[in-house]
Structure 1
Amino acid sequence: MTSGGTDVLPPLIDHHTHSVVIADLTPDAFRSLLTESDRAPVADPFDSALGLAVRRWCPPALGLSEHATADAYLSRRRALGPAEATKRLLGAAGLSTLLVDTGLVAAAGHPLLPLPELSALAGAPVHQVVRLESVAERLAARAPAAADWSAALTEALTAELAGALAVKSVLAYRHGLDIPAERPSPAEVIEAAGRFLVDQPARLTDQVLLRQLLWTAVDLCAERRPALPIQFHTGFGDPDLTLHRADPALLTPFIRAVEPTGVPLVLLHCYPYHRQAGYLAQVFPHVYADTGLTLNHVGPRATTVLGELLELAPFGKVLASTDGYGLPELHLAGAAQFHHAVADLTWQWRRAGACTAVDGERLALLLAEENARELYHLP
């Protein structure tokens, strides 16, 4: 790939992403999607490593020179219209398959595109990743009896999994990854479900029910042949996350407990704990990792961060994703950042005599496509 022009990037299986909005976003609304914060920004989000990445990779897809100013870029985007801009940006991302977490339904006050429409604009097949906590919260709205909670959850999750390639947990947001590894007892689940169904909070945060939800997912994923992977958000994210409790190393007891089931566990994003994730991927055969959200946000440091993950992680255990959400720019910049980081890293390794050109090409293919194809059993 080159650093400029409008060429479509090499194929990439985006194994964890979200949908986009088709709306005439105001400049402020656009900028709000260039940060993980849900607060009004004090400084311009374009003046960040992510902003640099967007201005580097996205303007050529809209007919501008790379590094166009933010104002020039937003003006061109408005002139093209949201549908045309989105089609160009997603098309330039070169995504061959998208695995979409459907737990989010809106961005900047606008609905996210349904999966068939996202697939049409991206020019690629789209598959669902079921967000576990959303299933439990929808079930609570139907108010089953506390004694029936476990059976009802199993039934609801079984139905959701029928068309999915994976499930995802946002345990890091709802409690933190530092939970006991063992399954809760039936009595504990009934008691916790009783409280949850009476209180009807908008979000599931009860530790007992979160553990029971995870183990229900493990059991159902293990029943599938081959087993379905479970993705975990780890590392940085929105302000309602407490960062030190999102360290993937905190999941180690649960990882050990799940190992006999054969269910793959995928650690998403991971920063600033990507080295811990690399270690876990090395020592546990069922653990995988990516730096999806991270490579966009660290901008010019993407090569360094990816290299730090690959210090310990086996090359066959690392995946590529954009974690694009709301803005199609995040899909394009995420894919471009990944390809550039891999190319830059392997060039450094070749220059140092650490690998051959064939090794570098093999690494790029594994991370971009082959690892995800094997893990998710894609055609």
Structure 2
Amino acid sequence: MAAAGPVHEALAALELVDHHCHGAVTADLSFEEFESLLTEGEAWPGVSPFDSPVGIAVRRHCAPLLDLPRHAPPDAYVARRAELGWREVNRRFLTAAGVGTFCVDTGHTPRPLTSPAELAEASGAAAYEVVRLERIAEEAAARGVEAGEYAAVFRAAAEEAVRRPGVVAVKSVAAYRTGFALDPERPSDAEVSVAAQRWLTAGGRLADPVLVRHLLWTAVGLGLPLQLHTGFGDADLRLHRADPALLTDWLHRVAGTVPVLLLHCWPYHRQAAHLAAVFERVYLDVGLALHHTGPTRARVVLEEALEITPFRKLLYSSDAYGVAEFHHLGALCFRQGLAELLRHRVEADELSLSDALRIASWTGRDNARRLYGPPVSEPARDLRGRPTRKV
């Protein structure tokens, strides 16, 4: 990123905390496989994901890290990727991201991905785990459980999962499974047993509204920060049900308990901003939208998110999944978009330079450190426990 003043320089040098992401693939990718990972949708005949804002951004901002010219053609890009091999590709993009700490959702693995430890090794950063609760529930059901015992078994399994070394948060994908237009009350034991019998008999994914409510209330009892996917996602999502404003009544009931992190949010980032402005323990990011809009429009998304959001309530995430390009591109879009936003406000005398630098540090790193606490606030270390330093 070309520096354009003290705010750009500060953000370029800042070791980010990526408070929500996934692993990178551990295999070389064909052209078609790579295309499929560029999009939240599909690669349709005659419509390449390279011909989209994110595809253009990859060719412009990621190609040079593969020793290619900017705007390299798609076939040359994927061929160079294969020539280098997935390990070297992952190393280059993960280190270029300038992230000191990754918080990694390990619950979505339709293809082999780097574990948090492998992500740490490839990047030279620290990496910690975010436990996806739907996966815990489904694994408990797969082991065999009586409907009347489901609540206790799931709770015990969740408690065991969050005690694993390196776990810093839990996550729910309720937005995908039921949406947020749920009864906000905690379900009774009898309701949970009836719903569990219904689910265990039918099988499949956890998508029963009563059991999703039970999962959310169980999450609150675990005491760790709770991440919730909201807004933009893949075709499995019903977007109108993923508006975080639908959580308002539930947020009233859980106020004062655990931090609730609203992930991604776009196009509902203004609704998320409202919730962060009126609920003490609600926070947000606009992670997934940043690399899908590209560096130029990332500023606009961040500006809209920060219209009313308190500056201690916005965090950085990439939500990178599959291709390590997204770990790098998410960080680049965040740094450039936020730097331009803050520079403009300083030049308009709406912010002092010292305030702009504080906001940059808060949103890129310190807000996450404050929420997740140790070990996220500790220096990044290599696999031998030695402090590392980004170059």
Bin for the TM-score computed over the shorter chain: over 0.9
Q: Aligned runs of 1:66-145 on 2, under 5 Å?
A: 66-106=70-110, 110-145=111-146
Q: Aligned runs of 1:151-170 on 2, under 5 Å?
A: 151-163=152-164, 164-170=167-173
Q: Can you list the C-alpha shifts for 1:232-258, whole angstroms capped at 9, x where unaligned?
A: 000010111111110110111111111
Q: Can you list the C-alpha shifts for 1:83-142, whole angstroms capped at 9, x where unaligned?
A: 111111111111100000111113xxx411222212100111111101011111101101
Other-structure match for 2:208: 206
Q: Can you list the C-alpha shifts for 1:334-367, whole angstroms capped at 9, x where unaligned?
A: 0000000011111111222211222221111111
Shift of 1:42: 4.3
Other-structure match for 1:150: 151
Pairing partner for 1:282 from 249, 262, 277: 277
Unaligned runs of 5+ in 1: 222-227
CA distance in 1, matches of 2:52, 2:347: 30
- How many pairs were matched up? 366
Identical aligned pairs, as a percentage?
49
Other-structure match for 1:305: 301
CA contact (8 A) 1:62 1:89 kept: no
Other-structure match for 2:182: 179
Q: Aligned runs of 1:328-343 on 2, under 5 Å?
A: 328-343=324-339
Q: Can you list the C-alpha shifts for 1:307-344, whole angstroms capped at 9, x where unaligned?
A: 00000100100000110100000000000000000111
Other-structure match for 1:224: none
Shift of 1:370: 0.3
Other-structure match for 2:2: 2
CA distance in 1, matches of 2:57, 2:346: 25
Q: Secondary structure at the match of 2:312?
A: helix
Shift of 1:67: 2.8
CA distance in 1, matches of 2:266, 2:246: 14
Q: Secondary structure at the match of 1:66?
A: coil
Pairing partner for 1:267 from 252, 262, 270: 262
CA distance in 2, matches of 1:55, 1:323: 19
CA distance in 1, matches of 2:39, 2:293: 12
Unaligned runs of 5+ in 2: 4-11, 378-391
CA distance in 1, matches of 2:61, 2:14: 14
The one-letter code of the counterpart of 2:271 is: Q
> If the length of structure 2 is used for normalisation, what is the TM-score?
0.90
Other-structure match for 1:44: 48
Q: Aligned runs of 1:310-329 on 2, under 5 Å?
A: 310-329=306-325
Pairing partner for 2:193 from 182, 190, 195: 190
Q: Secondary structure at the match of 1:275?
A: helix
The one-letter code of the counterpart of 1:86 is: N
CA distance in 1, matches of 2:162, 2:197: 26
Structure 1 moving runs of 4+ over 6 Å: none
Other-structure match for 2:61: 57
